Amino acid sequence: MAARIGLLGGTFDPIHLGHLRLALEAREFLGLDHVRLLPCHQPPHRATPDVSSAERTELLRLALDDCPELHLDARELERDGPSYTLETLQSLRRELGEEARLVWILGCDSFAGLEQWHRWRELLDWANLLVVSRPGWDLPSQGTLANWLSEHAVAPEALLDRPAGAIAVQTLRLLPISATEIRSMIQSGSSPQFLLPDPVWHAIRERGLYRGR
Ligand code: ATP
């Protein structure tokens, strides 16, 4: 049987339980072999984070230590310049072969901004998309993106029938946690403990990350 691989890209600034539950819920829902978390080196659509990609990746490594279903894939750190998802998918496809079922997983907040992504329509040449509802966010109901979605939409059970080219939308149980909120909690001196894995929180404290300049 062809490999079935989930892919969750993000800034992970820092990684939190919302990301980890999303990856696990998606893996179980689609019956994926594993989900790879791909930290972004240089986000093309937002300011470069204060915490370096190497440090964000190190926190991710700590978070995944005890979870064999989720893998760290740090390939974006090996490319200079903006970390375009299209290039990441091309490199994964070269590595995993033409038959592998690739599923790029994204929250509907990320999906809503997809038209800003580099050559976004071509993403479907390389992978399928799973768009997951996230508290407080709705899918676009009209416009280019909504039309593109309805053109390529399939039922979630059919998403892995082909290596690439389809989009499924699914509600999964998600935790209302955001990295923005965690960063501002740390900056203002409140504790984000239990919103992110303990080893990650310990490392953030020890290294004095996210305290502001
Ligand atoms: P920020 O608050 O800095 O924008 P974030 O918490 O949204 O960060 P990202 O690294 O930007 O995290 O997100 C990576 C992916 O994880 C995106 O597809 C996003 O939609 C999804 N995601 C983030 N937080 C959650 C959550 N709590 N539940 C489900 N999906 C999430």
Report yes or no on 181 lying in a domain: yes
Beta strand 101-107 with 70-72: parallel, antiparallel or unpaired?
A: unpaired
Taking each helix axis from N to C end, the angle separating 198-207 and 53-64, rounded to the nearest 10 degrees, works out to 150
pLDDT of residue 88: 98
User: Using 50, 70 and 90 to split pLDDT, how confident is the model at 48?
Assistant: confident
Indicate the number of domains in the chain: 1
Residue bearing the CA closest to ligand 1, atom 21: 107
Q: Please tell me if the CB atom of residue 18 comes closer than 6 angstroms to any atom of ligand 1.
A: yes
Report yes or no on 8 lying in a domain: yes
Question: 10 Å Cβ neighbour count for 143?
Answer: 9
Instruction: Compute the distance from residue 179 Cα to the ligand 1 centre, in Å.
Output: 7
Report yes or no on 17 lying in a domain: yes
Domain span at 88: 4-205
pLDDT of residue 143: 95
Q: Residue 134: pLDDT above 80?
A: no
Beta strand 128-132 with 167-170: parallel, antiparallel or unpaired?
A: parallel
Q: Please tell me if the CB atom of residue 69 comes closer than 6 angstroms to any atom of ligand 1.
A: no
Please identify, by atom number, the ligand 1 atom nearest to the C-alpha of residue 8: 15
CATH number, domain containing residue 70? 3.40.50.620
pLDDT of residue 47: 83
At position 69, the amino acid (one-letter code) is E
pLDDT > 90 in the chain, percent:
88
Instruction: Compute the distance from residue 159 Cα to the ligand 1 centre, in Å.
Output: 22
Write a three-state SS string for the chain: CCCEEEEEEECCCCCCHHHHHHHHHHHHHHCCCEEEEEECCCCCCCCCCCCCHHHHHHHHHHHHCCCCCEEECCHHHHCCCCCCHHHHHHHHHHHHCCCCEEEEEEEHHHHHCHHHCCCHHHHHHHCEEEEECCCCCCCCCCCHHHHHHHHHECCHHHHHHCCCCCEEEECCCCCCCCHHHHHHHHHCCCCCCCCCCHHHHHHHHHHCCCCCC
pLDDT of residue 213: 52
